[in-house]
Amino acid sequence: MSSTENLVARYLDAWNATDAAERAAVLAEVFAEDACYTDPLVDADGRDVIDQVIAGAQAQFAGLVFTSGGPVDAHHNTARFTWHLGVPGDEPLVIGFDVAVIENDRFTKVYGFLDKVPAA
């Protein structure tokens, strides 16, 4: 597994870590202190705010798990990857992809896009 693939795997681990201390430790591995995360629903600046966003998503989607949706595509200091959110083994409820900028082996910027979301 490449360092970028490992970074993406740990990123997904952060989204699945429900223990606050464990999640904070993984976020410290994955994100620069002043990283930003942006998707259609949120614009979060800083590791602590990203942590709050993840905790909120976990509360909203309790019991669901983020998994990789396929291989990581990367070049230079940029990676893109697809993820799924759902019950393991079932059809994903949400499918998205993220584009991440990497500096010093950590994400500095992550841009999230939603390809499939449940109907309201």
Q: For residue range 53-85, what is the model confidence (pLDDT) as tens digits?
A: 999 999 999 999 999 999 999 999 999 999 999
Q: For residue range 33-56, what is the model confidence (pLDDT) as tens digits?
A: 999 999 999 999 999 999 999 999
**Domain ranges, ordered by start, for the chain:** 3-116
CA distance 64 to 71: 21
> At 83, which amino acid appears?
W
CATH code of the domain made up of 3-116: 3.10.450.50
